[in-house]
Amino acid sequence: MRLILLGAPGAGKGTVAKLLTQLDGSVQISTGDILRGAVQAGTELGRKAEAFMKAGDLVPDDLILGIMEKRLQEPDCAKGFLLDGFPRTIPQAEALKTMLARLGVQLDVVANIEVPREEILNRLTTRRTCVNPQCQAIYNVRSQPPKVEGICDKCGSAVVQRADETEAAISRRLDIYQEKTAPLVAFYRREGFLLTITAPTSEGVVAAIQKQIAG
Ligand code: AMP
């Protein structure tokens, strides 16, 4: 399947993408994961992106488009892709449209996952993430803690609170979502791809997406 997952930070895009990859081998592409990996590896991309990310700001479009232009042409995308955290601005959505047309690829659906702001704040302040760039497993100190506190069940690396998941940074990320990313809902409604989902669990979101794709 070829999907865009839209939704505020903490709406569950990453969790839904991971569940969907298990269904048909489509690959999850998270620009946030790619950027965090670059920051950890100390690459030029990482050095350019780090300050924006720490502040909860968006990384400039040209850096993101440089990443995606290459990523969408990698062979693992042939089976399908789940875009998680991209596009996030109207210029990114326009550029993606051009990239997909050039690759001769058609989107199946843009799934807009809607979660109340209170629930999002609650989820993000309790979220913890594995620091290993190859793993980046997600936990929740209340609902899904790692078996050993602070240690990833999957790879044994440290599990930490992300630098951009302090209350100040979260609040800024949610404001930026409203200003820069929420307009994509109308954009994709006009394009005829939009499916808005309000299911309270990730499994419910996955079921709604499957139903839509099955037609
Ligand atoms: P995420 O893990 O998707 O919440 O992304 C973490 C951070 O990476 C965001 O707060 C932005 O600073 C940056 N980022 C990720 N994807 C994008 C994007 N498509 N455009 C701009 N910045 C992005």
Give 23-33 pLDDT, tens digit per residue: 989 999 999 99
In a domain, 65, yes or no: no
Question: Residue 116's domain is classified under what CATH number?
Answer: 3.40.50.300
- Report the pLDDT value the prediction gives residue 199, as an integer from 0 to 100: 87
pTM, two decimals, is 0.89
Residue 16 domain boundaries: 2-26+79-214
88 in catalytic set = yes
In a domain, 70, yes or no: no
Structurally, how many domains does the chain consist of?
A: 1
In a domain, 44, yes or no: no
In a domain, 95, yes or no: yes
Of 36, 123, 128, 173, catalytic: 173
The residue type found at 105 is V
User: Does pLDDT of 162 surpass 90?
Assistant: no
Q: What is the mean pLDDT of the chain?
A: 94
Asked whether the beta carbons of 209 and 108 are under 8 A apart, the reply is no
User: Does pLDDT of 215 surpass 90?
Assistant: no
Of 18, 36, 162, 189, catalytic: 162
Q: Which atom of ligand 1 is nearest to the CA of 56?
A: 10
Give the pLDDT band (50/70/90) at residue 167.
confident
Residue 67 has which token pair?
């990443």
In a domain, 69, yes or no: no
In a domain, 49, yes or no: no
Ligand 1 center from residue 189 Cα (angstroms): 23
47 in catalytic set = no
- Report the pLDDT value the prediction gives residue 31, as an integer from 0 to 100: 97
In the chain, helix, strand, coil percent, each to 5? Answer: 55, 15, 30
Give the pLDDT band (50/70/90) at residue 56.
confident
Q: Which atom of ligand 1 is nearest to the CA of 84?
A: 3
Ligand 1 pocket residues where CB is under 6 Å = 9, 31-32, 35, 52-53, 56-59, 64, 85-86, 88, 92, 164, 173
Q: Which atom of ligand 1 is nearest to the CA of 53?
A: 12
Beta bridge partners of 194: 110
71 in catalytic set = no
Residues 108-151: tens digit of each pLDDT: 999 999 999 888 988 889 999 999 988 989 999 999 999 999 99
- Report the pLDDT value the prediction gives residue 164, as an integer from 0 to 100: 83
**Nearest alpha carbon to residue 123 among 26, 59, 202, 30:** 202
Cα 100 from Cα 188, distance rounded (Å): 14
- Report the pLDDT value the prediction gives residue 166, as an integer from 0 to 100: 82
User: Does pLDDT of 3 surpass 90?
Assistant: yes
Rounded to the nearest 5 degrees, what angle is found at the Cα of 27, between the Cα atoms of 88 and 102? 65
Percent of the chain surpassing pLDDT 70: 100
- Report the pLDDT value the prediction gives residue 106, as an integer from 0 to 100: 94
173 in catalytic set = yes
Alpha-carbon 159 to chain mean position: 19
DSSP 75: G
Average pLDDT of 72-85?
Answer: 96
Find all residues with CB under 8 Å of 62, minimum gap 6, and list them: none
13 in catalytic set = yes
Alpha-carbon 176 to chain mean position: 15
- Report the pLDDT value the prediction gives residue 208, as an integer from 0 to 100: 96
In a domain, 138, yes or no: yes
**Nearest alpha carbon to residue 127 among 136, 117, 140:** 140
- Report the pLDDT value the prediction gives residue 168, as an integer from 0 to 100: 83
Of 13, 18, 102, 211, catalytic: 13
In a domain, 54, yes or no: no
Stated length of the chain:
215
Of 36, 88, 123, 128, catalytic: 88
